[in-house]
């Protein structure tokens, strides 16, 4: 077998070729691309790459140098992307990447896109994804939509050759297509655009927590000198509207004073939570959280729990009986219960609502909505006092209604165990969950003490997102991560799985729910009116557990609890397999039946009736109506 040292010796023989190519008079781009493809393989000799590709002596302030200097000035220290060969010049740009910036490749443009945007959010910055201009960028479109709908800061960097025609090799009319996908499309067509366009694209992605496409004309890839501007107007741009909005907000909140106020907390930028906690503490405000904004730090104020039919009765009681709602953060998404359905209409009707949001598109419809960037500036010295009797009323309801919802299916029981272990041990481990039934089950029971420890898609919600998100969270926070995913989602994100298997040192615990009832196929049967709903399709399980290292398999709740309660930390890659029965009833999730009777019980404070509310099959899992 060829050893690592043998491979290093082999790659060191490339140094002479690299020396030739990097001579100023050399223009052999094809040779360069081929060597870059070789050098960036995982087994490449470190000295070859670092000495010849990264630390070479070239003309300063060419486009490549400027590009990376701009990113370094914005504290970007990790980028994501999948390279290519052929005439794609993106590899040439990546080959100039400085040592201070790490390049991570999860093996797929889609998974790289998921990871990049979450990494950007968790580092209070922007995620950068590099894709090729044809199929690469097309594959990343779903990740772009994810960043738009889930409000994650992402910039997709790709190239365009204006000399190509539609129909040429890997060529499409991306400029016009991009404008129909995102409102934020940027194009560097010549050297005069570099600084302004890169600043504008970064500021847009960061301010609005959204997805941006940044195209670079391939003709700009030349050795040309550029002058670096010294001024960065980022803060000036961000705070331009906040000062006016604060004055308007103070005026609007005057009628909220001494009323039945409830603070509704959505997803915030990480840097703004300390200001929010101070605001709650000073004003002694009761508050509820949402699917994404969940936390139970009760030391700062009166926490009434998480709202929704998969939330807490005490939170729903507070939301229903409040007269004034002050909504802070972005709260869109079906699992936040703010869609136009019975629950949201009933629970927010006839209330005076003021919303603070980073983007009006993702805020609750309200009397007054303010789009802000610096929440700390807005909340500083803001006084908002609730009615004392209202606070006492909620304190009483909390003592009675703050209970966990029933566990009916085996899936729910296993999910509940994970939440109990997490809470009883006061863990601060970030959690990443996929979509599907495990999505609802984990989200139904898991409550994190600290904010932004629970990563869940709610709007775009692409399958197979959990592992890439978990990898991004670890790289951004250097913390251990819990990932929950179904067997279908695991197979969908197979490139992420291969990345983990190649990086077993990562402290990520992946819990996989396994059965042979594959939802995507079973749902096809359910939609046929002439078939029995209870009938299921069984598919042989792919033997994934045979290839997974450090793998622990559980068939019952007791052994799972005993193991997890004694081994909640893992300093290396770990897999936990939950084997579920092959019956529909044991793989379902149940929600609060928020009907008229439930509404009346909330209205009349009938606590016993509220606690005895019957659960129903979660709406998405119910049998479709017959045509």
Question: What is the tens place of the pLDDT at every residue in 227-253?
Answer: 555 555 555 545 556 677 777 888 888
Q: CA-to-CA distance for 73 and 66, rounded, in angstroms?
A: 10
H helix or E strand, kind and range, residue 48? helix 46-48
Q: Residue 619 falls within a domain, yes or no?
A: no
Q: Are strands 590-592 and 615-617 parallel, antiparallel or unpaired?
A: antiparallel
Q: What's the pLDDT at 162?
A: 72
Start-to-end CA distance of the chain, whole Å, equals: 63
Of 89-98, 257-266, 357-366, 406-415, least confident by mean pLDDT is 357-366
Domain end marker among 346, 366, 401: 401
Query: Residue 214: is its pLDDT beyond 50?
Result: yes
Question: With bands split at pLDDT 50, 70 and 90, how would you rate the model's confidence at 2?
Answer: very low
| CA–CA distance, 443 with 437 (Å, rounded to integer) | 10
Mean pLDDT of 172-191: 82
- Residue pair 295/233 in contact (Cβ under 8 Å)? The answer is no
pLDDT at 1: 39
Of the pLDDT bands very low, low, confident and very high (cuts 50, 70, 90), residue 547 is confident
76's torsion region: left (phi>0), alpha (psi -120 to 50) or beta? Answer: beta
Choose the final residue of a domain: 176, 203, 237.
Answer: 237
**Judgement on whether residues 163 and 249 belong to the same structural domain of the protein:** no
Place of tokens 């404070």: 605
Residue 80 β-bridge partners: 104, 129
Tell me the C-alpha to C-alpha distance, in Å, between residue 569 and each of 161, 219, 286, 295: 49, 51, 33, 21
Question: Is 605 domain-assigned?
Answer: no
Q: Identify whether residues 251 and 226 lie together within a single domain.
A: no
Please tell me the total count of domains within the chain: 4
The structure's pTM equals 0.80
Lowest model confidence (mean pLDDT) among 348-362, 363-377, 560-574: 363-377
Q: What is the DSSP string of 118-175?
A: HHHHHTTS-EEEE--TTHHHHHTHHHHHHHHHTT--EEEEEEE-TT--TTSTT---HH
Radius of gyration of the chain (CA): 26
Position 86 confidence tier, pLDDT thresholds 50, 70, 90: very low
User: Is residue 343 helix, strand or coil?
Assistant: helix
Query: Are residues 426 and 389 part of one domain?
Result: no
148-156: average pLDDT: 93
- Which tens digits make up the pLDDT trace of 15-60? 433 343 334 333 343 444 344 344 334 333 333 333 333 344 444 5
Residue 595 has pLDDT above 60, yes or no: yes
Q: What is the largest CA-CA distance in the chain?
A: 84
Do 501 and 559 have their domain in common? yes
> Would you state the pLDDT for residue 13?
39
The band of 85, judged by pLDDT with boundaries at 50, 70 and 90, is low
Using CA atoms, how far residue 620 sits from 114, 311, 340, 345, 486, in Å, is 24, 16, 15, 19, 17
Alpha carbon separation from 233 to 184, 197, 206, 208, 210 (Å, rounded)? 19, 13, 13, 16, 20
* Judgement on whether residues 463 and 545 belong to the same structural domain of the protein: yes
pLDDT of 172 over the 80 cut? no
Least confident of 57-66, 135-144, 529-538, 558-567: 529-538
User: In this model, does residue 192 exceed pLDDT 70?
Assistant: yes
Residue range(s) defining the domain that contains residue 417: 410-587
Q: Tell me the pLDDT tens digit for each residue of 467-494.
A: 999 999 999 999 999 999 988 888 888 8
The string of DSSP letters for 65-89 reads: HHHHHHHHHTT--EEEE----TT-T
Q: How far apart are CA 127 and CA 157, in angstroms?
A: 10
Q: What pLDDT score does 574 carry?
A: 98
Of 355, 373, 401, the domain-final residue:
401
pLDDT at 521 over 70: no
Q: What is the pLDDT of residue 56?
A: 40
372 and 470 share one domain: no
Strands 431-433 and 454-455: parallel
Q: pLDDT band at 626, cuts 50/70/90? A: very low
- Residue 168's φ and ψ, nearest 5 degrees, are -70, 170
Strands (DSSP E) found in 168-285: 185-188, 211-217, 261-265
Give me the pLDDT at residue 271, please. Answer: 84
65 and 53, same structural domain? no
Give the pLDDT confidence score for residue 566 in this predicted structure.
98
Phi, psi of 163 (to 5 degrees): -85, -10
Strand pairing category for 324-328 and 590-592: unpaired
CATH number (domain holding residue 106): 3.40.50.970
232 and 249 inside one domain: no
Q: What is the pLDDT of residue 48?
A: 39
pLDDT of 249: 83
The pLDDT of residue 195 is above 80: yes
Average confidence score pLDDT of the chain: 80
The rounded Cα 265 to chain-centroid distance in angstroms is 18
Please report how many Cα atoms fall inside a 13 Å half-sphere around the Cα of residue 600, on the Cβ side.
Answer: 4
> Where residue 326 sits, what CATH number does that domain have?
3.40.50.1220
Question: What is the rounded average pLDDT of the residues 524-540?
Answer: 49
Among 70, 78, 91, 83, CA closest to 118: 78
Per-residue pLDDT, 519: 54
Same domain, 450 and 323: no
The answer to whether residue 457 sits within a structural domain is: yes
Rounded average pLDDT over 221-229: 55
The verdict on 51 and 64 lying in the same domain is no
């Amino acid at each position: 077998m060829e050893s690592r040292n043998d491979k290093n010796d082999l790659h060191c023989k490339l140094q002479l070729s690299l020396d030739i190519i990097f001579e100023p008079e050399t223009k052999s781009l094809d040779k360069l691309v081929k060597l870059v493809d070789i050098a960036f393989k995982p087994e490449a000799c470190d000295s070859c790459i670092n000495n010849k590709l990264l630390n070479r002596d070239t003309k300063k302030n060419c486009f490549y140098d400027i590009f990376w200097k701009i990113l370094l000035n914005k504290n970007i220290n990790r980028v994501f992307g999948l390279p290519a060969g052929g005439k794609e010049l993106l590899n040439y740009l990546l080959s100039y990447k400085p040592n201070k910036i790490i390049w991570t490749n999860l093996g797929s443009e889609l998974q790289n896109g998921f990871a990049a945007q979450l990494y950007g959010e968790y580092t209070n910055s922007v995620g950068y994804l590099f894709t090729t201009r044809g199929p690469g960028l097309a594959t990343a479109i779903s990740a772009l939509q994810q960043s738009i709908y889930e409000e994650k800061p992402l910039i997709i960097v790709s190239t365009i050759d204006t000399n190509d025609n539609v129909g040429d090799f890997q060529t499409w009319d991306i400029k016009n297509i991009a404008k129909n996908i995102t409102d934020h499309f940027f194009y560097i067509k010549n050297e005069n655009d570099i600084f302004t366009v890169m600043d504008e694209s970064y500021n847009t992605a960061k301010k609005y927590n959204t997805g941006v496409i940044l195209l670079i004309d391939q003709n700009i890839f030349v050795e040309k000198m550029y002058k670096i501007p010294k001024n960065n107007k980022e803060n000036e741009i961000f705070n331009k509207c906040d000062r006016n909005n604060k004055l308007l907000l103070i005026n609007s909140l005057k009628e909220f004073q001494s009323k039945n106020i409830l603070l509704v907390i959505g997803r915030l930028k990480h840097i703004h939570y300390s200001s929010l906690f101070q605001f709650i503490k000073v004003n002694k405000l009761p508050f509820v959280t949402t699917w994404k904004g969940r936390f139970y730090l009760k030391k700062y104020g009166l926490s009434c729990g998480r709202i929704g039919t998969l939330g807490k009765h005490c939170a729903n009681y507070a939301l229903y009986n409040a007269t004034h709602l002050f909504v802070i953060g972005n709260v869109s998404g079906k699992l936040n219960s703010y869609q136009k359905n019975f629950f949201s209409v009933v629970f927010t009707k006839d209330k005076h609502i003021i919303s603070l949001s980073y983007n009006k598109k993702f805020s609750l419809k309200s009397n007054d909505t303010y789009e802000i960037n610096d929440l700390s500036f807005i909340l500083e010295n803001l006084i908002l006092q609730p009615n004392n009797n209202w606070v006492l009323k909620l304190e009483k309801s909390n003592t009675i209604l703050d209970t966990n919802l029933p566990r009916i299916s085996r899936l729910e029981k296993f999910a509940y165990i994970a939440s109990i272990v997490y809470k009883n041990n006061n863990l601060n481990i970030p959690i990443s969950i996929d979509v599907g039934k495990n999505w609802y089950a984990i989200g139904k029971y898991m409550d994190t003490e600290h904010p932004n420890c629970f990563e869940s898609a709610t709007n775009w919600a692409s399958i197979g997102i959990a592992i890439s998100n978990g990898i991004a969270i670890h790289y951004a926070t250097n913390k251990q991560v819990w990932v929950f995913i179904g067997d279908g989602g695991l197979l969908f994100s197979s490139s992420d799985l291969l990345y983990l298997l190649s990086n077993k040192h990562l402290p990520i615990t992946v819990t996989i729910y396994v059965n042979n009832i594959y939802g995507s196929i079973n749902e096809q049967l359910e939609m046929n009116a002439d078939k029995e709903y209870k009938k299921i399709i069984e598919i042989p399980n792919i033997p994934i557990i045979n290839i997974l290292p450090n793998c622990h398999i559980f068939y019952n709740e007791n052994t799972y609890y005993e193991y997890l309660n004694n081994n909640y930390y893992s300093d290396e890659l770990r897999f936990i397999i939950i084997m579920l029965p092959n019956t529909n009833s044991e793989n379902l999730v149940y929600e609060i039946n928020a009907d008229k009777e439930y509404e009346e019980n909330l209205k009349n404070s009938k606590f016993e009736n509220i606690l005895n509310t019957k659960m129903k099959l979660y709406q998405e899992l119910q049998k479709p109506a017959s045509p």
